[in-house]
Amino acid sequence: MAKKETTNSSNYDAKSIYVLEGLDPVRKRPGMYIGSTGIDGLHHLIWEVADNSIDEAMGGFCDQIEITLMPNHRVSVKDNGRGIPIDTHTQTKKSALETVMTTLHAGGKFGGDSYKVSGGLHGVGVSVVNALSRYVKVEVCKDGCVYEQEYSRGVPKGKVKKVGSCKHNGTTVIFEPDPEIFGKQDKKTEMPDYDINKILLHLRQQAYLTKGVKIVISDLRNFDKDRKISKKPEEQIVQRSALVPSHSFYFEGGIISYVKYLNRDLTARHSNIFYVTKELEGILVEASFQYTDEVSAREVSFANNIHTIEGGMHLTGFRTAMTRQLNDYARKNSLLKESDENLTGEDIRDGLTAIISIKLGEPQFEGQTKAKLGNPEARTATETVVSEGLQTYLEENPTDAREILAKCLISQKARQAAKAARDTILRKGVLDGITLPGKLADCSSKDPSKSEIFIVEGDSAGGSAKQGRDRNFQAILPLRGKILNIEKAHLDKALASKEVRSLIIALGTAIAEEFDIGKLRYHRIVIMTDADVDGAHIRTLLLTLFFRYFKAIIDEGYLYIAQPPLYRINAGKKAQYAYSEEDKLEIMEEMKKEIVAKKKSKGKEEKDEDDGEGAESSTDKSSEPETASVKGVNIQRYKGLGEMNPDQLWDTTMNPENRVLKQVTIDDAEEADKIFDILMGDEVAPRKRFIQTHAKRAKNLDI
């Protein structure tokens, strides 16, 4: 690996390390430091170690990072940065390496010039990983020598020792998470494993944001265990890497490449992608955008490479600059008349794909999760830099400018039409407390925390649900047919749909600018559709509507999907419900054993039940596997909710004591946004590729 050129900031030694407090609280309250001790917390360990390498890359001291997943949850993170200092720290009287690894808030990010910007937990990260791992080994290549130290649960197993020589600087951290922290207390369930797709998604993002750094990810967990492999982890990496393919990310274009990636399956409105970068008063601002034919916006913001999911001051500055400059250009070029109202932020954002990345010395994040940036100076810097850059871009690219403004003006007309529709539809309805949709069978409870609504497909299923429900807290809203595909339509078209209007009024939150989650009438919203292709399509259309216009309902955990049974299986007077093919086979095997036992108890010889003809009541016997036919066992295949009696629907799908509900969550909004574009958008080619790629993962298709 090539050694990076250094600047005055390359004097990275023990004097660069500042100690603030001890490490003891981490194991007592790990959730305070990594969010959770579940699967997300497990991945957070990787992010924290990798962030240190990313910080080296942002400072210009590193251009290659290698992350390797090994068996037994071990992970290796290696970089060719400066290497953690190993000389004695004046304050702790220990090696700077040991100080960094065993002391909370000890790192090169608290003072001096070691890091102008950083994205980690400001020195917290690697010590937290050490505290929460049962094994850690750090290897430092520095000034021609190799040093190493091992730890267990944050405690050094020995002193830092010199073990060899090397040609280039760098740091390698190998850690194994502690099952006492991340495993189950009952020891019956194994510790969750890493999700390679989640890791690739995160590190690809980091590569886009750190132009010129190469990030390599190798997954060696399923390597052939019969091969003769060294017991030393570092030698395992070398031996296995020669045989296992790796994923490599390197983007010379930086965030311009990121915009291209996000728009790869969409139709762009203009050819020249906007890009600006400039440092202003110590804040480095980078921004890039391109418009597409989509009706939704995709704005992704970062501060010191940390994804600020809820935006913040930098995003506000970007939006202000965009709105002002596009309005100014439209006025100067007579695209907006004097009598026309200005374009709003909503008009500007339709179809926009934008990346905003800033780097600053002292970021102020709101909340432990760093979801929002609070620095006022970040707004000023971003607004100034983007305004200057966009003004130049529009003047130098008049064709692109007119395409962008044409898109914004279409969005303005759609917004005005939608506003008129909301005024006539919503304000005269539930917003003034006058009426609810006639098809809604409401519950008697007025407490949203105790109320739930089932969105049901069709009048037949709606009738069964209304009869089977508990009227005290369960409301039923039947929808007729498939609702409008929101992914392909502006809000004005959505509000023209009777079914969409009924749903909006029933929820009580209004929509778009008037949306207020505090007015939500139910804190459990359940989508209940048939277990067939049409039902799946209706469910997807509803999920698209909620994702685009009621995302806060998903974020608050209020949206669910009902899981009605696929089969009713009965033998004699005993009946059970199967929710999957696996359930069906297990239940039938159990009933078969009971029938055999009952016959034996009566002194009758067992006959070959597998060859007997079952009294099938299913309407599609030919679709049942031969092994599923058991004499004396009846199987009813539910094609739709309307086939179920009200009491059956209550027992299996609506009774809180028995039912199975899937809560709808969004682990990664950016990826979810992309998938909705693919599955519900106008472009056929990317949807076809998606289906071909994931077809093998689909099970029990009912076509």
Taken in order 161, 165, 169, 171, the sign of the CA dihedral is negative
Choosing from 234, 249, 264, the residue where a domain stops is 249
Whether residues 491 and 536 fall in one domain:
yes
Kindly give the interhelix angle for 376-396 and 313-332, rounded to the nearest 10 degrees.
30
CB-hemisphere CA count at 13 Å for 422?
Answer: 18
Residue 410 domain-assigned (yes or no): no
Average pLDDT of span 56-69: 93
Tell me the CA distances in angstroms from 282 to 101, 243, 360, one per residue in order.
30, 46, 7
Residue 456 φ then ψ, to 5°: -115, 145
284 contacts: CB under 8 Å, gap ≥ 6: 117, 277, 278, 358, 359, 360
Quickly tell me which residue has 């749909």 as its tokens. Answer: 497
Kindly give the interhelix angle for 398-425 and 376-396, rounded to the nearest 10 degrees.
120
Whether residues 147 and 207 fall in one domain:
yes
Q: What are the tokens at 180?
A: 């006492």
Q: What span, in angstroms and rounded, lies between the C-alpha atoms of 58 and 216?
A: 17
Whether residues 24 and 161 fall in one domain:
yes
Tell me the CA distances in angstroms from 231 to 82, 130, 158, 225, one per residue in order.
28, 22, 20, 12
Whether residues 23 and 137 fall in one domain:
yes
Average pLDDT of span 218-239: 62
Average pLDDT of span 81-85: 93
Evaluate if residue 163 carries a pLDDT over 50: yes
Q: Please give the residue that has the higher pLDDT: either 256 or 573.
A: 256
Whether residues 264 and 236 fall in one domain:
no
Residue 5 domain-assigned (yes or no): no
Q: Are strands 452-457 and 524-528 parallel, antiparallel or unpaired?
A: parallel
Q: What are the tokens at 429?
A: 């309805």
Residue 693 domain-assigned (yes or no): no
pLDDT tier, 384 (very low <50, low <70, confident <90, very high otherwise) = very high
Q: Please give the residue that has the higher pLDDT: either 544 or 77.
A: 77
First to last CA, the chain: 54
* pLDDT cut 70: percent of the chain above it: 79
The whole-number pLDDT of residue 35 equals 80
Q: Which amino acid is at 320?
A: T
Residue 184 domain-assigned (yes or no): yes
Quickly tell me which residue has 């990030």 as its tokens. Answer: 215
The phi-psi region of residue 541 (left if phi > 0; otherwise alpha if psi is between -120 and 50; otherwise beta) is alpha
The whole-number pLDDT of residue 142 equals 93
Q: 193, exposed or middle or buried, with CB in 10 Å at 0-12, 13-18, 19+?
A: exposed
| Burial letters 553-572, b for 16+ CB under 10 A, else e | bbeeebbbbbbbbbbbbbbe
The whole-number pLDDT of residue 406 equals 95
Quickly tell me which residue has 């070959």 as its tokens. Answer: 608
Residue 684 domain-assigned (yes or no): no
- So which residues are the catalytic ones? 457, 530, 532, 534
Whether residues 296 and 186 fall in one domain:
no
Q: Are strands 145-152 and 524-528 parallel, antiparallel or unpaired?
A: unpaired
From 617, 614, 654, 649, select the one nearest 636 (Cα to Cα).
Answer: 617
pLDDT (tens digit per residue) in 488-499: 777 888 888 888
Choosing from 222, 249, 276, the residue where a domain stops is 249
Q: Are 173 and 126 in contact (CB under 8 A)?
A: yes
From 402, 592, 394, 422, select the one nearest 515 (Cα to Cα).
Answer: 422
Q: What are the tokens at 65?
A: 């990072």
Q: What span, in angstroms and rounded, lies between the C-alpha atoms of 79 and 74?
A: 17
Q: Please give the residue that has the higher pLDDT: either 337 or 383.
A: 383
Q: What span, in angstroms and rounded, lies between the C-alpha atoms of 232 and 345?
A: 57
| Helix, strand, coil tally for the chain in percent (to 5) | 40, 20, 40
Task: Give the CATH number for residue 186.
Answer: 3.30.565.10
Q: Are 121 and 107 in contact (CB under 8 A)?
A: no
Task: Give the CATH number for residue 302.
Answer: 3.30.230.10
Q: What span, in angstroms and rounded, lies between the C-alpha atoms of 84 and 103?
A: 14
Q: Are strands 352-359 and 298-303 parallel, antiparallel or unpaired?
A: parallel
The whole-number pLDDT of residue 191 equals 85
Whether residues 599 and 519 fall in one domain:
no
The whole-number pLDDT of residue 532 equals 76
Whether residues 457 and 342 fall in one domain:
no
- With 0.85 as the threshold, say if the pTM is over it: no
Whether residues 197 and 53 fall in one domain:
yes
Task: Give the CATH number for residue 512.
Answer: 3.40.50.670
* pLDDT cut 90: percent of the chain above it: 47
pLDDT (tens digit per residue) in 610-650: 444 443 444 444 344 434 466 778 888 887 888 888 999 99
Positions at the binding site for Mg(2+): 457, 530, 532
669 contacts: CB under 8 Å, gap ≥ 6: 309, 551
Residue 99 domain-assigned (yes or no): yes
From 325, 352, 346, select the one nearest 263 (Cα to Cα).
Answer: 352
Average pLDDT of span 477-497: 81
Domains contained in the chain, number: 4
Whether residues 556 and 571 fall in one domain:
no
The phi-psi region of residue 640 (left if phi > 0; otherwise alpha if psi is between -120 and 50; otherwise beta) is beta
Domain that holds residue 79: 18-249
- In degrees, rounded to 5, the angle at the alpha carbon of residue 187 between the alpha carbons of residues 182 and 189 is 70
Whether residues 51 and 105 fall in one domain:
yes
Q: Are 526 and 633 in contact (CB under 8 A)?
A: no
Positions at the binding site: 457, 530, 532
Quickly tell me which residue has 């159990």 as its tokens. Answer: 590
Q: What span, in angstroms and rounded, lies between the C-alpha atoms of 109 and 562?
A: 49
Residue 157 domain-assigned (yes or no): yes
Among the residues of 363-482, which ranges form H helices?
376-396, 398-425, 458-468
Residue 642 domain-assigned (yes or no): no
Computed over every residue of the chain, the mean pLDDT equals 82
Q: Are 563 and 530 in contact (CB under 8 A)?
A: no
Q: What span, in angstroms and rounded, lies between the C-alpha atoms of 54 and 235?
A: 24
CA 445 to chain CA mean position, Å: 34
Decide: helix, strand or coil at residue 81: coil
Q: Which residues pair with 527 in a beta bridge?
A: 455, 561
Decide: helix, strand or coil at residue 110: coil
Average pLDDT of span 8-14: 66
Choosing from 622, 637, 652, the residue where a domain stops is 637
From 140, 403, 370, select the one nearest 267 (Cα to Cα).
Answer: 403
Average pLDDT of span 506-524: 91
From 153, 150, 193, select the one nearest 172 (Cα to Cα).
Answer: 150
Evaluate if residue 702 carries a pLDDT over 60: no
- In degrees, rounded to 5, the angle at the alpha carbon of residue 127 between the alpha carbons of residues 156 and 194 is 105
pLDDT tier, 270 (very low <50, low <70, confident <90, very high otherwise) = very high
pLDDT (tens digit per residue) in 669-699: 556 565 656 566 656 566 556 555 544 454 4
* Cβ atoms within 10 Å, residue 157: 11
User: Could you please report the per-residue DSSP string of 206-250?
Assistant: HHHHSTT-EEEEEE-TT--TTS---SSHHHHHHHHHTTS-EEEE-
The whole-number pLDDT of residue 636 equals 87
Question: Is residue 136 within a helix (H) or strand (E), and if so which, with residue range?
Answer: strand 133-142
Q: Are 650 and 471 in contact (CB under 8 A)?
A: no
Q: What span, in angstroms and rounded, lies between the C-alpha atoms of 590 and 100?
A: 58
Range with the poorest average pLDDT among 29-43, 54-68, 101-115, 327-341: 101-115
Whether residues 537 and 633 fall in one domain:
no
pLDDT (tens digit per residue) in 454-475: 999 888 888 989 999 999 999 9
